[in-house]
Every structure is written in C-alpha cells, then in structure tokens.
Amino acid sequence: MEPAGGESSWQAGMSLAAVLEAAGHEAYLVGGCVRDRLLGREIRDIDIATSALPEQVMELFPKVVPTGLKHGTVTVVRDGEHFEVTTFRHESAYSDARHPDEVVFVRDLREDLARRDFTINAMAVGTSGKTVDPFGGLDDLRRGLVRCVGEAEERFGEDALRMLRGIRFAAEFGFALEEATWSGLLARREKLRHVAMERVGSELDKMMAGRDPGEAVRLLRTSNLLAFAKEPLPTELPDLAGLASDGSERDEESRTVWSRLPNPDARWAALWLLSGADRALALEWARRLKFSIRRGEAIAAVVGVHGRLAGSAVEPGTDDSEKRRIWAEAVIRFGAEAARMYLDVAKAFPSVPDSVRWGEGWVRKAEDWLDRMPASAIRELAVRGDELVALRGLKAGPWVAEELNRLLTLVALEAVPNEAHALKSAAAEGWAAKKPDPIDPEEKIDKTVQ
C-alpha cells in the first residue's frame, strides 16, 4: 500500500501529536486518515486521539476551538489547517440508536478504538510510525472487507447511521460487506428510523458523489434499507443489471458509466429518472433528504425536461422541426443548465432517452439545437417588456409575458435573430395577425362608465 496524497497534512498532524507527547500525553493519528493513507487515497481530514483532556489540549496550542467539549473534542487550528483532537473515550449505551447516553474519558487507546464502527476505521499511527491495529483492520484492507468492530448487531444498534456508512465504504473502496456485518445490518434495519433525515441525506449524497454509485444502489436495493427511514424514500430502486456489480466481482462498466456524470446532481437526476420519478416526486424526495430548495429544484428540473419530452405524444415519422420546437419549449421552461444535464444523463443511460420514443439519434440533434440557441431565457432577449408595452400602446399585463415567451421561442428556434429591431418587428407582425386586437380591460371599463 502506497502513501496517499495530502502528505503535508499528515506530517502537520504528526507535528501536532509530537507537541502533545512532549507535554507527557499519548497522541495518535486515527480513523479515516490512517485508512486513506494505507489505501493510497487523498487524505482530507486529520483526526487525532490523545490521552490529554480537552482543557490540557487547549493549554498547549494558541488557537483552539471548543467544538465538542462534551464529547472530548476540540479543533486545533495551525497554519490555516484544522485538526480535530479528541480525548480517548468510552461510550455507554445508545438509548436513541444514534448518540451515546454518556461519554467516559479513558487512558487506553485500544479501548478508544474498540468503540469505532469498522475495523478499517479502528487503526491509529503514532509519531514512531507504527500502526496500532488491535482488530485486524489492515488485513481487512488487504482482503477488501468492511467488517464491524466486535458484534455487528451491537454496533448498528448503537448508531444506526453506521449501516449507511458501511454501504458507502463498500461502494467507495470496492470492498465487500463481511457476511456477519451484512447479517447484522439486515437485523437492525428498523433502527434507521431514529436517524435524522439530514444525516441520511448526507450519507446518500456522499454515495452518489462517490466512486461507484451503482454499487451503492445495488446494496441499498438488496438490503431494502431505505424502507426503514424516518420519512419515505424510494424503495423501488432500479435494477441496474450490467451497470452495477452482481455481487461476486466488481463491474468496471458501472463505475465507468457513473463517471460520465461527474456532477452529483446529474447522478441524482439519473437515479430518479431510472426509478420512474416525475418532477413532483423528485421535488418531494429532495425535500425529504433535506436538500436545499434551490438544489432540489435544479435536480427536479432535469427530471422535468424528460417529462416534457416523454409526454409530447410525438407520432412516429414526426419531422425534426416539431421535435425541435418541443425541445426548445422544454429548455425555456426548465433552463439550459437542466437541459444540458439531461443530455448528459441520456448519453450515459440509453434507457432514459429511449423512453421518449423520438427515434434513434435525437439526443445528438438536441445537443446541436441547444448549442445553436441564441437565447434560452427571457433575460437574454434583446428586447424588454417595457419596450413592448411602449410599442403596442397598451397597459402592461399577462400579455407581455406571453409575448416575450413567444419571441424567445422564435429566437431559440433561430426563426428570428436576437436583435431589438427584428424582435419588435416580429412582435408587431404577431399582433397584426390577431383579429380583433385585444382591448385593454381598464379602457373598456372607462368607456362603459362614460
């Protein structure tokens, strides 16, 4: 196993541990940073476990943030980097299946490691460079296993979020869930209802942004874990046969397909489209996962583009001009960014565009049409609503938005150039073609009163 990236952070963490040791305390780099360094992965966060009490840590460093004194954690800030430093501790019963009822500070590193979730996260390295590995985490890294420390049912019963973390680690590292760990997960699934939806959403988001969302989906589908969440989540997840591992060996195609969608929001849109969601359901799932309103709407917009196309009832043999018009209307309705993301999804997962039933090759044409659009939003038009009001001589009303949308569609279809003079001429021609000319409601009332 090769050293990971982020070596400077690792050395900075070791330097901090050395300060603690010089003051007479034990100190070790622990958890994910040790695991990732052994796997040759980029190191992001450095966590340090120490025999020193939080107050003693705060005395040794000039800039310390008391982020979790109750649980023995402070954050040391050094040269702009943040290091979580936590006192060796033992945790009592978890009556809410999420948080320990009591935290007791201890003097033994091994007792501290024993409270952790998985063996691959229960290793520590001291300033000597020696790895402390009382539960076989190094062997599990070599074998590619996610295995609980101690009894799996007990670990998952203590903190139900660990079940989602276990699935995330398996998918991210290309590991298998050890048999007893998988059995313990299935036995404790109902405990997931104790986990806040924000935490569930965060774990699922990491899976979708990770190395192999397809494998994560397979494990979620096989375990039916999401059926036990506090709020209903999609349980009829797609069977991504050929795009997800069959469980016996990793399918490189799965990772390749998902890697074509580097944007996590596009991956979410793909999953929801493959699950048969419409825009309304996509919005509801985003709300339940506690995504921001803006993010939920952005993902749902991608699903909305598909719904607009799939619901267009285009008959076989329909010419491209009609398809282009429908496509332009979808882009205008949901935005060019959502349309672009939808095309990325369609290219990665052929079953998505196939369900539109527009025939072979339409995705490539839609991409070309989108690239050629001079404008896809009203704000991009070379004419403003107040200019149309002045040109027509009527009071502003709903007709202004309708006319701007009509002009935008003409521009998007390249039927009219996005130039002020051309747009005003097209507007005037459109009004002249309507007989009789609309009467301003207030003008009509005034004449009646007179």
pLDDT at 445 exceeding the cut of 60: no
> Which helix H or strand E contains 46, and what residues bound it?
strand 46-50
139 plus 1 within the same structural domain: yes
**Both structure tokens of 412:** 């998007």
Contact 39, 173 (CB under 8 A): yes
Q: Do residues 213 and 92 both lie within one domain?
A: no
Residues 6+ apart with CB under 8 A from 403: 388, 427, 430
How much is the pLDDT for 6? 77
pLDDT band of residue 315 (cuts 50, 70, 90) is: confident
Query: What is the domain-level CATH number for residue 24?
Result: 3.30.460.10
Residue 379 counted as domain residue:
no
Same domain, 187 and 278: no
- Say if strands 176-177 and 145-146 run parallel, antiparallel, or are unpaired: parallel
Arithmetic mean of pLDDT, 363-378: 97
Q: According to the 3-state scheme, what is the secondary structure of 275-291?
A: CCCCHHHHHHHHHHCCC
Q: How confident is the model at residue 448 (pLDDT cuts 50, 70, 90)?
A: very low
Write down which residue in 259, 283, 317 finishes a domain: 259
Q: Does residue 97 register a pLDDT over 60?
A: no
Residue 126 maps to a domain: yes
Question: How much is the average pLDDT of 116-141?
Answer: 97
- What is the pLDDT at residue 435? 58
* 302 and 224, same domain (yes or no): no
Assigned domain for 339 exists: yes
Share of the chain above pLDDT 70, in %: 90
Q: Give the closest residue to 274 by CA, choosing from 297, 302, 298.
A: 302
On whether both 330 and 200 belong to a single domain, the answer is no
CATH code of the domain containing 168: 1.10.110.30
* Percent composition of the chain: helix, strand, coil (DSSP 3-state, to 5): 55, 10, 35
Q: How confident is the model at residue 243 (pLDDT cuts 50, 70, 90)?
A: very low
Task: Based on the fold, state whether residues 100 and 39 are members of the same structural domain.
Answer: yes
CB within 8 Å of 146: residues ≥ 6 apart:
118, 120, 140, 166, 169, 170, 173, 175, 176, 177, 178, 181
Single residue among 323, 348, 373 that ends a domain in this structure: 373
Whether residue 91 sits in one domain with residue 202? no
Out of 83-97, 267-281, 403-417, least confident range: 83-97
Residue where one domain finishes, among candidates 143, 173, 196: 143
Task: Using pLDDT thresholds of 50, 70 and 90, give the confidence band for residue 98.
Answer: low
On whether both 21 and 97 belong to a single domain, the answer is: yes
Q: Tell me, yes or no, whether 127 and 210 share the same domain.
A: no
Q: Domain check: are 58 and 86 in the same one?
A: yes
Kindly tell me if the per-residue pLDDT of 240 is higher than 90. no
**pLDDT tens, residue by residue, 167-200:** 999 999 999 999 999 999 999 999 999 999 999 9
pLDDT tops 50 at residue 449: no
Mean pLDDT across the chain, nearest whole number?
91
Provide the CATH number for the domain around residue 430: 1.10.246
Classify residue 182 as exposed, middle or buried by CB count within 10 Å of its CB (0-12, 13-18, 19+).
Answer: buried
Range of the domain at 321: 264-373
Residue 343 lies in a domain: yes
Q: How many domains does the chain have?
A: 4
Instruction: Check whether 239 has a pLDDT greater than 80.
Output: no
Q: Do 182 and 238 have their domain in common? A: yes
Residue 320 CA to residue 359 CA, distance in Å, equals 11
Residues 46 and 103 occupy one common structural domain = yes
Is residue 245 pLDDT above 80, yes or no?
A: no
Best CA proximity match to 29, nearest among 15, 47, 53: 47
| Eight-class DSSP state of 397 | S
Residue 378 within any structural domain of the chain: no
